[in-house]
Amino acid sequence: MARHSNRSVSASSFMKVSTLVLALAGASQALAAENGLQRYSPGVGGSDMTTPLVPGWYVQMPMVAYHASKIKGDDGKQATSVVPNPLTGQPLPFRATASAKVDSEALLPRVTYLDTARFLGANVGFTVMLPLVHRKGTFGLVAPAGIGSSLVPSGGGVTWDQALASKAATQNGSEVGIGDLEFSPLLHWEIGDHQAVTLAPTIVLPTGDYNVAQRVNPGFGNFVTFRPSVQYAFIGDGWDVGVRGVLSFNTRNKDNGYYSGNMFNLDWQLMKFVSDDVRVGLQGYFVRQFTKDTQDLTGLSPTLAKEIINGNKASVNAAGPAIGWLKNGGEMLLEGKFLKEFDARNRTEGQAFWLTVSKPL
């Protein structure tokens, strides 16, 4: 009977470890914004920003493949996370090193219409996009050297590395499905020779496939995003310059109480025609989260809640080469680019390959 009782105590203690580590892995202090994601695809703005826009119908099909094998903390180094004591819930005197391998492929079909009607001097229209997404994530937590091989107190012979790896693995996943619907009215101004400005106050709705118990989902969560953007284009005789500034304001996720902080994105491109139909150049983006994440973790772990409630702000930069082909001066645009991320904070750091087809109807 005594041995059976010991096994029961060990199992109970290990369940406490499992529950707390699972909460840690799910909350992901190292990843600002819920699960490290945001409802805007950085880098989606490219040569389409400086393609002449006249009244009519347009279709776009951006395709992106993103891969990251690094996850950075607030100091730009490999991310770490608090590990709780399995018995008291208080933080132990070490932080676990977090790891992530993330792959995301998406089709982002968009339909845009611009009318001849005007408001405030601008042509009016609308744009709508519904993505098809595949996301895959593999996550890990490792205790510092010399600690990871030590046994969890009353953990039934389980080491800290084993406990951490086991529970981090429960966050792994691979999902395919539709993403969140975007809709926006458009205002497009021609402001002078070779220059244009476009305003798009976008609303993003939670139509995507989403399970609050999973870390990997095609959709972002049960919340709404208001995402106004302003785009400036200069179309020169040789060089083209395009800039798109985007703000994202989120409501709270109704399924888990998580509030993703507000974001600023800036896509930019500098392209030069090297022939009548081909242009090459550089493109990139900046991402800056300017308000912190919050979440109501009442009843889960007050110690962890104190840290997560002031979630760190995510940021990253990216740049890379691009090449575009403009058929017959505008019948179709085909563009490819490779963007490498650097100087990430509180999010993954990787690279993306984009292929975009744009065509007026």
Domain span at 335: 31-92+99-139+173-360
Determine which of 93-97, 199-203, 308-312, 357-361 has the lowest per-residue pLDDT on average: 308-312
Nearest to 92 by CA among 83, 100, 101: 83
What is the share, in percent, of the chain residues with pLDDT greater than 90?
52
Nearest to 15 by CA among 201, 167, 195: 167
Q: What is d(CA 206, CA 120) in angstroms, rounded to the nearest whole number?
A: 31
Number of domains within the chain: 1
CATH number, domain containing residue 112: 2.40.128.130
Mean pLDDT of 324-328: 87
Q: What is d(CA 242, CA 121) in angstroms, rounded to the nearest whole number?
A: 21
Token representation of residue 251: 């409501």
Q: Would 348 be classed as within a structural domain?
A: yes
Q: Would 1 be classed as within a structural domain?
A: no
Residue 250 vs residue 168, higher pLDDT? 250
Q: Would 308 be classed as within a structural domain?
A: yes
Q: Would 149 be classed as within a structural domain?
A: no
Nearest-5° Cα angle at 44, 61 to 205 = 80
- pLDDT computed for residue 9 by the predictor: 33
User: CA 296: distance to chain centroid?
Assistant: 22
Q: Would 188 be classed as within a structural domain?
A: yes
- pLDDT computed for residue 146 by the predictor: 83
Q: Would 109 be classed as within a structural domain?
A: yes
Determine which of 16-20, 321-325, 329-333 has the lowest per-residue pLDDT on average: 16-20
**Whether residue 2 has pLDDT greater than 50:** no
Q: Would 6 be classed as within a structural domain?
A: no
Q: Would 10 be classed as within a structural domain?
A: no
